[in-house]
Structure 1
Amino acid sequence: MEERQVEFRNVSFRYQEDMPWVLKNVNFTIGPDEWVAIIGHNGSGKSTIAKLMNGLLFPQEGEVYVGGTKVNADTVWDVRKQVGMVFQNPDNQFVGTTVRDDVAFGMENHGMPRDLMVNRIQQSLKAVRMEEFERHEPHRLSGGQKQRIAIAGVLAVSPEFIILDEATAMLDPKGRKEIMQTVSDVQQERDLSLITITHDLQEVTMASRVIVMNGGEIWMEGSPRDVFSKKDHLTEIGLDTPFVSKMADHLKKEGVRLSREPLNHQELLEDLCISRSTM
């Protein structure tokens, strides 16, 4: 088994014995340096997947492996050194009186030596462009700044995988864009595997692969371009598609030829320019 990967093998989960299964026989692998977006409507099982990766929950059936280690009560603390998690509300992750204290918290829990901690704090804050806020009080920061600090705290532990569980849901569009650009930069610099649980369609277009959950099962899987090209299927299970994708469909119905499913406005404009030049 590849050590730098997350693997779900026939995983099923429910919160109580008399409740329906939230996940049903789920199988997938997330490889090194991959960015995977997991989407689905509320109750589809996507956030449960995140908690199973991090050892906050354990499956009743099947197995979850992180970096070649089976996730269970005996290995959970080793797994959490490899898997960092950023939640929707950063205030729930803050425990220190300063930004520095918060970034240091996870490393203290793992018993890292002080010299290493000091170096990691500086590196992590620099990675999210927040090095000037080291002595600030977290609760005085903006929502986007708080989420950057939460990400820095995860980076400081130097995980192989980072999960963002609706991490931009409470931010305005500008804040969401800044956080996702930060995350994208960090992933490329540090060779991380990134898992985003999200409703934000623009986040999905940045991923290399998309897993669509429906009724506790993997309903569709593919690149963002492949997934968003199946608009009718997504609509069937109550999911939306990006505005640019809808615009492309409208143009096709009007007879405009496009070479691909556009993921952003730039791609659509490029295709329109090519189409016009060949008329």
Structure 2
Amino acid sequence: MKKECIEFRNVSFRYSEEGPWVLKNVSFRIPADEGVAIIGHNGSGKSTIAKLINGLLFADEGEVVVLGTPVTEETIWEVRKKVGMVFQNPDNQFVGTTVRDDVAFGLENRGVDRSQMITAIDNSLRAVGMIDYMLHEPHRLSGGQKQRVAIASVLAISPQIIILDEATAMLDPKGRKEIMHTVNEVKDQQGLSLLTITHDLNEITQADRVIVMSKGEVWLEATPREVFAREKELQEIGLDIPFVAKLANELGKVDVPISQQPLNHEELLEELWTYHSNK
């Protein structure tokens, strides 16, 4: 049985005593070394989940457990040593005058030895393809480069869990694809748990499992293929599936059999080639 790395136990939350419930009795488990995406329209509660995991907020009801530790005001610093978060706007995470200084910040706060710090900075920047920008000023970088540095800063502290909270929302499609490819490569190489929080269903194709949120509740837990097959229901809760999945669904309606829901263009072409070869 896989060990849970994140667990929500009947969690409810609202931002004020008189305000509406943002999360309502939410329960799920994320095993260690698993990549999970949480998706939902704006206001569905998905970003609140990220803040509860990292102790930026605390549940009004229920319990959030991270790597066996309940998240409370007494345990937040212990939890934050194990969890790294990358937010939507990387400029909000920069504190150094150079890329190297910025990546070093979290290490300095933890009192890491200088020789270990140099190694950690080099390794994390190399992992995201930014080693040649070490002495650049962060604010002079492109959006995609800034986000890579933000990810490097998180990797440098050796977290066991990485949370991407709408981390690619400000990037173009090419930049989004590159960042997600980089993060998934690092996840596999270092055996990290990855939690991606997004409203863009193009980003969930590499996830092991998807949690769909709607109106503060868990609407569905499924694989990306199973999620894409429910196009009409997703549209009803304010979400839309990628073009490849749409095309596959339409082909199925005109008697072009698709044996499994494709996640990308390559899989769709393979399905069409198989269909053509069997005719």
Which TM-score band applies after superposition, normalised by the shorter structure? Answer: over 0.9
Matched with 2:198 is 198
User: In structure 2, the residue corresponding to 1:150 is in which secondary structure?
Assistant: helix
Q: CA deviation at 1:4?
A: 5.7
Instruction: Work out whether residues 84 and 154 of structure 1, in 8 Å CA contact, stay in contact via their aligned partners in 2.
Output: yes
Partner of 2:110: 110
SS at match of 2:104: helix
Corresponding residue for 2:170? 170
- Which residue in 1 is equivalent to 2:161? 161
Q: Over residues 76-135 of structure 1, what are the superposed CA-to-partner deviations in whole Å (9 max), with x where a residue is unaligned?
A: 011001110000000000000010110011112222222221111111011111111111
- TM-score, with normalisation over the residues of structure 1? 0.97
Distance in 1, matches of 2:255 and 2:4, equals 46
Residue identity matched to 2:173:
P
Partner of 1:257: 257
Number of positions where the alignment pairs a residue of Structure 1 with one of Structure 2: 279
> What is aligned with 1:90?
90
- 8 Å contact from structure 1 (residues 35, 195) kept in 2: yes
Counterpart Cα distance in 2 of 1:255 and 1:193:
40
Asked if structure 2 preserves the Cα contact closer than 8 Å seen for 1:33 and 1:194, the reply is yes
Aligned residue identity for 2:87: F
The reply on whether 1:24 has 2:24 as its aligned counterpart is yes
* Aligned partner of residue 155 in structure 2, secondary structure: helix
State the superposition RMSD in angstroms.
1.2
Q: Distance in 1 between matches of 2:245 and 2:135?
A: 44
Output one character per residue of 1:183-205: Cα deviation in whole Å (capped at 9) or x when no partner: 11101110000001112222111
Name which of structure 1's ranges 210-219 and 175-184 shifts more when overlaid on structure 2.
175-184
**Which amino acid is the alignment partner of residue 145 of structure 1?**
Q
What amino acid maps onto 2:73 in structure 1?
A
**SS in structure 1 at match of 2:81:** helix
- Provide, for residues 169-193 of structure 1, a one-character-per-residue CA deviation record: whole Å limited to 9, x for no partner: 1011111111111111101110000
For the residues of structure 2 that align with 1:43 and 1:196, how far apart are their CA atoms?
16
Matches within 5 A, 1:1-279: 5-279=5-279
Question: CA 1:133–1:184 in structure 2 vs 1: closer, same or farther (change >3 Å)?
Answer: same
Name the amino acid aligned to 2:97: T
Q: Distance in 2 between matches of 1:173 and 1:164?
A: 16
Distance 2:29 2:89 in 1: 28
- Which residue identity does 2:172 align to in structure 1? D
Secondary structure, counterpart of 1:218 in structure 2:
strand
The answer as to whether partners of 2:199 and 2:239 remain within 8 angstroms in 1 is no
Task: Report the more deviating stretch, 41-50 or 267-276.
Answer: 267-276
Partners of 2:103 and 2:153 within 8 A in 1: yes
The DSSP-based 3-state class of the residue aligned with 1:238 is: coil
User: 1:112-163 deviations in whole A, cap 9, x for unaligned?
Assistant: 2222211111110111111111111111111101000000000011001000
Contact 2:54 2:79 in 1 (8 A): yes
* 1:107–1:117 Cα contact (<8 Å) kept: yes
Gap runs ≥5 in structure 1 = none
In the TM superposition, what is the alpha-carbon distance from 1:277 to its structure 2 partner? 1.2
Asked whether the equivalents of residues 3 and 68 of structure 1 are also in contact (C-alpha less than 8 Å), the reply is no
Deviation for aligned residue 1:261: 0.9
**Change beyond 3 A, Cα 1:126–1:4:** farther
The answer (yes or no) to whether the contact 2:42–2:199 under 8 Å persists in 1 is no
Tell me which stretches of 4 or more aligned residues in structure 1 moved more than 4 Å. Answer: 1-4
Distance of 1:201 and 1:17 partners within structure 2: 33
Tell me, in whole angstroms, the C-alpha distance in 2 between the residues paired with 1:108 and 1:121.
Answer: 11
SS at match of 1:180: helix
Q: Secondary structure at the match of 1:197?
A: strand
Q: Report the Cα distance in structure 1 between the residues aligned to 2:108 and 2:278, rounded to whole angstroms.
A: 62
